[in-house]
Amino acid sequence: MFDTGNTGFMLLATSLVMLMTPGLAFFYGGLVSRKNVLTIMMQSFVSMGWTSVIWYVCGYSLCFSGGQGGITGNLDMAFLRGIDPLTPFPGTANIPVWVFCAYQMMFAIITPALITGAFTNRVRFLPYLVFLTFWLLLVYFPVVHMVWGGGLLSSWGVLDFAGGIAVHAIAGMAALASVFFVGRRKVSDSGMHSLPLVALGTGLLWFGWYGFNAGSELQVDAVTAQAFMNTDTAASFAAMTWLFLAWILEKKPKFIGLLTGAVAGLATITPCAGYVSIHSAVLIGMLAGLVCYAAISIKNRLHWDDALDVWGVHGVGGILGTILLGVFASTAINPGGADGLIHGNPGFFVKEIVAVLAVSAYAFLFSWIMLWLINRFVRVRTTESEESEGLDITLHGERAYI
Q: Quick check: 93 pLDDT over 90?
A: no
Other beta carbons less than 10 A from residue 389's beta carbon: 15
Other beta carbons less than 10 A from residue 156's beta carbon: 12
Which amino acid makes up residue 83?
A: I
Q: Quick check: 325 pLDDT over 80?
A: yes
Whole-number Cα distances in Å, 330 to 18, 82, 223: 30, 38, 12
CA 108 to chain centre: 9
Confidence at residue 399, expressed as pLDDT on a 0 to 100 scale: 92
In this prediction, residues 329-335 reach a mean pLDDT of 97
Whole-number Cα distances in Å, 94 to 4, 104, 162, 211: 8, 17, 20, 18
Q: What's the pLDDT tens digit per position in 108-159? A: 999 999 999 999 989 999 999 999 999 999 999 999 999 999 999 999 999 9
Angstrom distance (rounded) from CA 345 to CA 350 = 9
Which backbone phi and psi does 159 adopt, to 5 degrees?
A: -115, 150
Q: What's the pLDDT tens digit per position in 179-224? A: 999 998 888 777 889 999 999 999 999 999 999 999 999 999 999 9
Which amino acid makes up residue 386?
A: E
Give residue limits of the domains in the chain.
4-208+220-396
Confidence at residue 73, expressed as pLDDT on a 0 to 100 scale: 96
Q: Indicate the helix (H) or strand (E) that contains 41.
A: helix 37-54
Q: Given phi > 0 = left and psi -120 to 50 = alpha, else beta, which region is 268? A: alpha
Burial class for 370, CB neighbours closer than 10 Å (0-12, 13-18, 19+): buried
Chosen CATH of 4-208+220-396 out of 1.10.3430.10, 3.30.70.1060, 1.10.8.50, 1.10.10.60: 1.10.3430.10
Angstrom distance (rounded) from CA 9 to CA 13 = 6
Confidence at residue 110, expressed as pLDDT on a 0 to 100 scale: 98
Q: Which residues contact 99 (CB under 8 A, 6 or more apart)?
A: 7, 10, 11, 14, 89
Please state the pTM of the whole predicted model.
0.96
Q: Quick check: 92 pLDDT over 90?
A: no
